[in-house]
């Protein structure tokens, strides 16, 4: 499941926002509930399917349960909320999450791969500009792209 592009939507006084249709479609196609967490590094929220959360839990199971790294990731899980979408594709964000991301009347959804982020639009644009300036000054990060796995063969003999 991949989330791409950016979308802006209004947030109402009750904390309800419409999840962009392509993001809803990705979750529905993969039969995944929407889980919202607070970013550990930025003033934004992160949305992902339960599959991504399960990957984090699986990794935690391989780590020293008393390590500082595990405690950081457990904080992410403790703050997670499974969101129920209404018939119009809206979710109701808890006030604590709205305050954490400093959301106001408009939010920006940024698809960033296997998750999406929910930002205050000006904060996202400032961060994106900072990242572009870093890339111009320092070059792009090294990416090692692996060939795509072939689709599994159906049937067989």
Domain boundaries, the chain: 3-137
Percentage of the chain with pLDDT > 70?
94
Q: Where are the beta strands (DSSP E) in the chain?
A: 3-10, 16-18, 34-38, 45-49, 81-83, 90-92, 106-113, 116-119
107 contacts 17 by C-beta, under 8 angstroms: yes
User: Coil, helix or strand for 94?
Assistant: coil
Spelled out in words, what is the top-level CATH class assigned to the domain 3-137?
A: alpha beta
pLDDT tens for each residue of 79-117? 899 999 999 999 999 999 999 999 999 999 999 999 999
pLDDT tens for each residue of 126-156? 999 999 998 888 887 777 777 776 655 544 4
pLDDT at 157 over 50: no
Paired strand residues for 11: 17
**Which residues, other chains included, contact 109 with Cβ-Cβ below 8 Å and sequence gap of 6+?**
6, 7, 8, 9, 19, 20, 23, 47, 116, 117, 118
> Which carries the bigger pLDDT value, residue 40 or residue 151?
40
């Amino acid at each position: 499941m991949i989330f791409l592009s950016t979308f802006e939507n209004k947030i109402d006084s009750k904390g309800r926002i419409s999840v962009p249709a392509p993001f809803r479609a990705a979750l529905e196609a993969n039969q995944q509930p929407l889980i919202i967490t607070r970013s550990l590094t930025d003033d934004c929220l992160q949305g992902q399917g339960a599959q991504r959360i399960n990957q984090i839990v699986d990794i935690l199971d391989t780590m020293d349960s008393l390590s500082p790294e595990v405690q950081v990731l457990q904080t992410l899980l403790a703050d997670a909320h499974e969101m129920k979408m209404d018939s119009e594709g809206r979710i109701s964000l808890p006030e604590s999450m709205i305050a954490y991301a400093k959301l106001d009347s408009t939010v920006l959804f940024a698809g960033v791969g296997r998750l999406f982020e929910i930002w205050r639009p000006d904060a996202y644009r400032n961060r994106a500009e900072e990242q572009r300036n870093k890339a111009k000054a320092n070059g792009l990060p090294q990416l090692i792209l692996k060939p795509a796995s072939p689709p599994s063969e159906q049937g067989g003999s």
